[in-house]
Amino acid sequence: MRCKDSEFGVSFHEFVGYSLNMLGNVDKFVFCCRFGGGLWGPLLSKLGDWSLSPSKGRKRTDMLNIEDTICAPATVPGTGAIAIIRMSGRDSFSIADKVIRCKGGNISDTEGYRLKYGVALEADGTDLDTVLVSVFRAPHSYTGEDSVEISSHSSKYIVERLLQRLVDCGARVAGPGEFTQRAFVNGKMDLAQAEAVADVISAQSEAAHKVAFSQLKGGFSKELKTLREELLKMTSLLELELDFSEEDVEFASRSELSSLLDGTLAHIHSLTDSFRYGNALRNGVPVAIVGAVNAGKSTLLNALLRDDRAIVSDIAGTTRDTIEETMTIDGTLFRFIDTAGLRETSDEVEKIGISRSYKKMNEASIVLALLDVTASEEENEYSISDIVSNLDVKSQKLIVLLNKVDVLGNNINVSLINNSVSNPNEKVVKLYISAKTGFGLDELRKLLSDSQKSATLDSDQTIVTNLRHYQALMKASESLENVKRSLAAGQTPDLLSEDLRQALHHLGTILGEVTTDEVLGNIFEHFCIGK
């Protein structure tokens, strides 16, 4: 039998290796082979169904129109030396030849990875600008198609005229993320890597960039593909049992399946557990500044930002809504949230603000609990107890700040703090500060930075930052838990196989091996034009 890898994700020889590996019993494998074509036809058909990823070079033209040649600016508008216009598609070279006159031959005759110097022309043949043209021949380009990048002077007029000339000669303006979408469709990257492109572009800190760039290189994708391959092997063997149900032959070892499930679930749980940290890296670690009225929350925010961002006054209840600002500390982006003072009030507007304070406090990764050392011990005890009662001390980090030490010094009784925080596994971090003078703020910044270093997972561990990926992993985990329960109950192979199919489906949606036009549209519409 001759099987094409392009039709079935697994070749005949690969399947033989899988079978020997999974069954661990040569006699059983030989027994199966004696059945001839009656076995291999249905089996390979099933394998074909389960190979959800397109083979290299196969274009999924149903997802978008890739027959057009597209163009767009790749650089942002504004004052600068150079602007770059990208063009991709089968007519890129011929269109470029109509617009640009090059010395030493046409662009169509130029080898890939070459630069051509030329002059961009208006429709009447007059000179528009001198340009450099980078030539990329398929499949060795970002999109996998014939592509050119035209570097011109950055004049808004020049860029607009060049784009108009390209459109007049047969190209069309690209939509958001269409270049990256074509790279995905043409097999240059999977969907997880495509999404990482946008994350790399939008990264606002060193930590966020490292995570996004790691995913762009395919580390996350490689892990998922390995998981899917193992599950695919087992699913194929389970479905093989259905074709030989009368023979009472067990192709898929139940003990191996149980071990595979445990290992896969542990891996998926590790990925989902990383999401809270990864999401914080991507969007900024949320830090809620909470406390009683006039404790100095707004003053602290302004001091950390070194800017008068929040209104400060001696009038209680000045801050009635949350204020959010970001800043980078030691390569990590933090999102500071100033909140309304916590107290009992009859003011309806202030009540709304206080309700939002509790909400932001519950969502924060780090809570800065501000206590006023000039207040009474009873007031501070009530304040810290109120804050702690609304926290999840296992997943949220609490830092107690004893503010206004410039007035009274650090002679406040801190036993009330220790008594209010009843988590024996978590040491209460206390810091004396003066938001007004800046005393202790450098130490606070270090505490914040160190908190993320300690929260950082192993450098070799993949961190999930995308909500879509997290949801798909949770669904895959649920399906695999169903398999475990069915396995323990001694259920038939068809029931086991069905839940394994679901797990494979959910993992495949992350990589784009199972997807829809709607999903692709939702992903790429958030990209910038030209990428």
Residues 16-32: what's their mean pLDDT?
35
Q: Is pLDDT at 163 greater than 90 in this prediction? A: yes
| Residue 222 tokens, joined | 């490689």
Mean pLDDT rounded to a whole number for the chain: 78
Q: Is pLDDT at 184 greater than 50 in this prediction? A: yes
Residue 245 CB neighbours (<10 A): 11
Q: Are 499 and 479 in contact (CB under 8 A)?
A: yes
Q: Are 140 and 183 in contact (CB under 8 A)?
A: no
Q: What is the pLDDT of residue 8?
A: 34
Listed residue (417, 454, 420, 451) closest to 432, CA to CA: 417
For residue 85, the SS3 value is strand
Q: Are 284 and 328 in contact (CB under 8 A)?
A: no
Number of continuous H segments (helices) and E segments (strands) in the chain: 20, 13
Q: What is the pLDDT of residue 36?
A: 33
Residues 260-271: what's their mean pLDDT?
91
Q: Is pLDDT at 428 greater than 90 in this prediction? A: no
Query: Which single residue is written with the structure tokens 């290189």?
Result: 217
For residue 476, the SS3 value is helix
Long-range contacts of 351-360 (CB under 8 A, 24+ apart): 352/320, 353/319, 353/320, 353/321, 353/322, 356/321, 356/322, 357/288, 357/290, 357/322, 358/390, 360/286, 360/288, 360/322
Distance CA(280)–CA(56), nearest Å, equals: 35
26: which residues sit within 8 A by CB, 6+ positions away?
20
Q: What is the pLDDT of residue 419?
A: 54
pLDDT digits (tens, 9 = 90+) for 118-152: 999 999 999 999 999 999 999 999 999 999 999 99
Q: What is the pLDDT of residue 15?
A: 37
Q: What is the pLDDT of residue 239?
A: 76
In eight-state DSSP terms, residue 330 is T
Q: Is pLDDT at 44 greater than 70 in this prediction? A: no
Q: Are 370 and 296 in contact (CB under 8 A)?
A: yes
Q: Is pLDDT at 462 greater than 90 in this prediction? A: no
Distance CA(186)–CA(189), nearest Å, equals: 8
> How would you class 132 by CB atoms within 10 Å of its CB: exposed for 0-12, middle for 13-18, buried for 19 or more?
middle
User: Model-level pTM?
Assistant: 0.70
Please state whether 450 falls in left (phi above 0), alpha (psi between -120 and 50) or beta.
alpha
Distance CA(180)–CA(88), nearest Å, equals: 11
Distance CA(122)–CA(245), nearest Å, equals: 73
For 209-273, the DSSP string reads HHHHHHHHTTHHHHHHHHHHHHHHHHHHHHHHHHHTGGGT---S-HHHHHHHHHHHHHHHHHHHH
Q: What is the pLDDT of residue 418?
A: 55
pLDDT-based confidence at 343, cuts 50/70/90? low
Question: Lowest mean pLDDT: which of 44-58, 107-121, 328-342, 504-518?
Answer: 44-58
pLDDT digits (tens, 9 = 90+) for 272-331: 988 888 887 788 889 999 888 888 888 898 888 887 765 554 544 445 457 888 888 888
Q: What is the pLDDT of residue 365?
A: 86
Residue 138 CB neighbours (<10 A): 16
Please report which helix (H) or strand (E) contains residue 181, including its range. helix 178-185
Distance CA(409)–CA(113), nearest Å, equals: 67
Q: Are 53 and 44 in contact (CB under 8 A)?
A: no
Q: Are 69 and 87 in contact (CB under 8 A)?
A: yes
Walk me through the domains of the chain, giving residue ranges and CATH numbers.
70-174 (3.30.1360.120), 281-455 (3.40.50.300)
List the 397-403 sheet strands across, edge first.
323-329, 332-338, 285-291, 366-372, 397-403, 429-432
> How would you class 194 by CB atoms within 10 Å of its CB: exposed for 0-12, middle for 13-18, buried for 19 or more?
buried
